[in-house]
Chains A and B, each alone.
Chain A
């Protein structure tokens, strides 16, 4: 890039090869901006935490004694079975946050401002997803605390447990890219919020997250076991040491259920690759 203009003189040197550096810098500037916003709108984080905490409490105490895990309705077993599912569902809610945030930026004209600046093309979206990842991490930490209070326990070493959480956060990060695409595609922030949430319910319920798939009709068992969401739930369960002796790894023989950690990684990376590409392309022509 040539520094041909007056404007460029005040700018940092932008030689070839600095483009990765520029992407990182710009993304961090945008991430910082979004984190400042989150700090100034604390109710967003608050509601983001309250919802999953409610789910933990409701599922544990309402369903806990009735759902049979491997032939036993011991509430303690269900708690351990459930938590990976709730964690996973929580991280997917980042979708709605990213979507609403980006739709709001479009609505307010900020996306136009950013697109008229000589900044890295993907940075507005990357910055947003990074900020969402931070928010999701905070939510998960609080949620894990609540889970411990109600009696959830992990049975693996700390390294494995942390890997379990990283696997969950990676899924959340992947889903925030889906949210970014939704946010760029709808006309209002309200539409982005509902559009970001509605499909998450069937996605997270037709899975192994809240009940073992054994009780589902055969057709749904196939759907559930190939569901990317199930792979992460099963992967996290494995890394937390929360797999139940009475619950088979898989009932349909689906590959992702045999190797849930790998399957989860593959799914998440695949989602990021596809949706990041689509979202950045959409961003380039945003509102055009």
Chain B
């Protein structure tokens, strides 16, 4: 049985550019898929196709058991959308915004009103409930936006770069909210440029680049593909490098790499902290003075680099497919 979000061979081209070039996704009910990739990778286009905002050129999409292309309006009843391109009306108060969205989800006015009060409470916006959203901070706006997506407690949620442009504290807060949500059984597809975010929130990760899913798996599986942990040593004297390399070779599970100019040696290992202690002892015995030593686990940045051959580019102003289709503004608004 396909998952709560299922896509097969999604293709969407804008002119010559194939924003999606045959994307397959399968998100089991109650899990979180992180769609990870740089700007222009096709993440937003994928979300737009799955949330009925954009009709793919070909392919199949099923959300909450409903065919997205055949019954878009049915799908809309079962999804919530938040993030980069969903928005709130800045001249309406938080309460008015939520009430409006509730009514447009076809709730009765009274029910929408009551639900708005609940959500404002849940998202710590009660004090600001009757102020226009214009006066909200970036973090408050995101919370209101997320609340708007949750008005009918949809079984399937989409969040497009939910924390882009937020400061670390607000990001942490939003992560907590998202975790709570998922623990309640909601299926979530989340796009992000932050590797840390996918690592933190997602059960499964699909790495997207240039319209293709180039890798998928759990965070640990992806990390395993780039190799396990490594010991990194920076020696004080360049002439000690050869001796240090000898020591490391005794512990390592592979060849040692030497960077002459930084006096850094790296070797893949297994054995964690205990092994690290042994390495330090041995280096000490040999009389090698060290500036720095550490056990390093691969980050998703490393994963991305090893998969695509280029680093995940996250600077704004990047040549960007989504921006070309008129969504630059939303990104600006999100900042």
Contacts from A to B (Cβ < 8 Å): 1-2, 4-8, 10-12, 14, 22, 25-26, 29-30, 32-33, 36-37, 40-41, 106-110, 112-119, 123, 187-188, 285, 287-288
Given A10-B107, A11-B105, are A36 and B333 also a contact pair (CB < 8 Å)?
no
What's the least CB distance linking A46 to chain B, in Å? 16
Asked if A108 and B329 sit within 8 Å, CB to CB, the answer is yes
Q: Which B residues touch A2, using CB under 8 A?
A: 74
Within 8 A of A (CB), among B67-91: 73-74, 76-79, 81, 84-91
Q: Which B residues touch A287, using CB under 8 A?
A: 53, 325-327
| A26–B101 CA distance with the chains assembled, in angstroms | 10
Asked if A108 and B90 sit within 8 Å, CB to CB, the answer is yes
| A288–B14 CA distance with the chains assembled, in angstroms | 9
- 11 A-B contacts (beta carbon < 8 Å): A7-B154, A8-B78, A10-B105, A10-B107, A12-B106, A25-B103, A108-B90, A109-B333, A116-B53, A116-B81, A123-B104
Q: Which B residues touch A32, using CB under 8 A?
A: 100
Q: Which B residues touch A12, using CB under 8 A?
A: 106-108
Within 8 A of A (CB), among B302-330: 325-327, 329-330
Q: Which B residues touch A110, using CB under 8 A?
A: 87-89
Closest-by-CB residue of A relative to B334 is A109
Q: Is B52 part of the contact surface with A, judged by Cβ < 8 Å?
A: yes
Q: Which A residues touch B132, using CB under 8 A?
A: 40
Q: Which A residues touch B52, using CB under 8 A?
A: 115-116
Asked if A33 and B100 sit within 8 Å, CB to CB, the answer is yes
Within 8 A of A (CB), among B30-57: 48, 51-55
Asked if A112 and B326 sit within 8 Å, CB to CB, the answer is no
Q: Which B residues touch A118, using CB under 8 A?
A: 73-74, 76-77, 104-106
| A209–B271 CA distance with the chains assembled, in angstroms | 89
Given A41-B91, A113-B81, A115-B53, are A6 and B155 also a contact pair (CB < 8 Å)?
yes
What's the least CB distance linking B115 to chain A, in Å? 8
What's the least CB distance linking B294 to chain A, in Å? 43
Other-chain residue from A10, A30, A108 in contact with B333 (beta carbon distance below 8 A): A108
Asked if A106 and B104 sit within 8 Å, CB to CB, the answer is no
Other-chain residue from A6, A7, A107, A187 in contact with B105 (beta carbon distance below 8 A): A7
| A112–B76 CA distance with the chains assembled, in angstroms | 12
Q: Is B159 part of the contact surface with A, judged by Cβ < 8 Å?
A: no
Interface residue count on the B side (C-beta < 8 Å):
48
Interface of A is mostly: helix
Other-chain residue from A4, A25, A29 in contact with B74 (beta carbon distance below 8 A): A4
| A288–B66 CA distance with the chains assembled, in angstroms | 22
Q: Which A residues touch B221, using CB under 8 A?
A: none
Asked if A108 and B105 sit within 8 Å, CB to CB, the answer is no
| A287–B86 CA distance with the chains assembled, in angstroms | 13
Q: Is B92 part of the contact surface with A, judged by Cβ < 8 Å?
A: yes
The 10 nearest A-B residue pairs measured at CB: A109-B87, A118-B76, A11-B106, A109-B330, A7-B152, A5-B78, A119-B104, A116-B81, A118-B77, A37-B91
Q: Which B residues touch A114, using CB under 8 A?
A: 104
Within 8 A of A (CB), among B162-209: none
Given A115-B52, A118-B106, are A10 and B91 also a contact pair (CB < 8 Å)?
no
| A36–B48 CA distance with the chains assembled, in angstroms | 29
Q: Which A residues touch B234, using CB under 8 A?
A: none
Q: Which A residues touch B327, using CB under 8 A?
A: 109, 287
Asked if B91 and A5 sit within 8 Å, CB to CB, the answer is no
Other-chain residue from A4, A22, A33 in contact with B106 (beta carbon distance below 8 A): A22
| A230–B73 CA distance with the chains assembled, in angstroms | 43
What's the least CB distance linking A281 to chain B, in Å? 13
Given A5-B155, A40-B132, A118-B77, are A109 and B105 also a contact pair (CB < 8 Å)?
no
